[in-house]
Amino acid sequence: MKERAMSHLDESGRVRMVDVSGKPDTVRTAVARGRVIMSQETCRRIASGELAKGNVLTTAQLAGIMAAKKTGDLIPLCHPLPLTHVDVRFNLRPEEGAIEIEAEAKCVGKTGVEMEALTAVAVAALTIYDMAKSLEPEMRIEGIRLVKKSGGKSGEVVLK
């Protein structure tokens, strides 16, 4: 893999936010995924809405969307972006004891929305954990990763 210059450092080696003002606005999208691993029973109870804390998946979906909108406040050198779309989806796999999370973020801007999609997945996963930890504190959050991005000079990139 080709190493890129460390663009978050100025000529003196000090941390800085990258200046993107000269870049053109393009439609930017990013898709990220992750999983929460648990017992089949915990997954079944989340799916059926049997938890005393309420609807886990609706709460996690809202948490992921809200987190994407706040990414610039959470990641120190991340640009605050005017998001035009955020979606958080779940694929329940009770036979595997897993909930797969996928988030898509979109904007028209000068820099990508990878961090927003990744943050949405991470916070959705943390919300699932928080709401179900009394049932199963051994749950694991795994595999949070970027799977696709588009826009800007690199065009569409699909990752494994």
* Predicted confidence pLDDT, tens digits, the chain (160 residues): 455 555 777 778 788 888 888 889 999 999 999 999 999 999 999 999 888 888 999 999 999 999 999 999 999 999 999 999 999 999 999 999 999 999 999 999 999 999 999 999 999 999 999 999 999 999 999 999 999 999 988 888 888 7
Q: 25, 73, 87, 130: which one is catalytic?
A: 130
Non-local (6+) Cβ contacts of 13 within 8 A are none
Closest CA to 38 of 123, 130, 103: 130
What is the pLDDT at residue 83? 98
What is the pLDDT at residue 139? 98
Residue 57 lies in a domain: yes
Exposure of 157 by Cβ count < 10 A (0-12 exposed, 13-18 middle, 19+ buried)? middle
Specify the CATH number for the domain of residue 111.
Answer: 3.30.70.640
Which domain does 90 fall in, by range? 31-151
User: Catalytic annotation on 130?
Assistant: yes
**Between the CA of residue 66 and those of 56, 86, 121, 136, what are the distances in Å?**
15, 9, 11, 25
Residue 129 lies in a domain: yes
Residue 73 lies in a domain: yes
| Cβ contact 109:27 at 8 Å | no
Total tally of structural domains belonging to the chain: 1
Residue 5 lies in a domain: no
pTM given for the model: 0.91
Residue 54 lies in a domain: yes
Residue 158 lies in a domain: no
Give the CA count within 13 Å in the CB-facing half-sphere of 57: 20
What is the pLDDT at residue 5? 56
Residue 20 lies in a domain: no
Residue 80 lies in a domain: yes
The one-letter amino acid at 107: C
Q: Which residues of 59-88 are buried (b: 16+ CB within 10 A; e: fewer)?
A: bbbebbbbbbbebbeeeeebbebebeebbb
What is the pLDDT at residue 44? 95
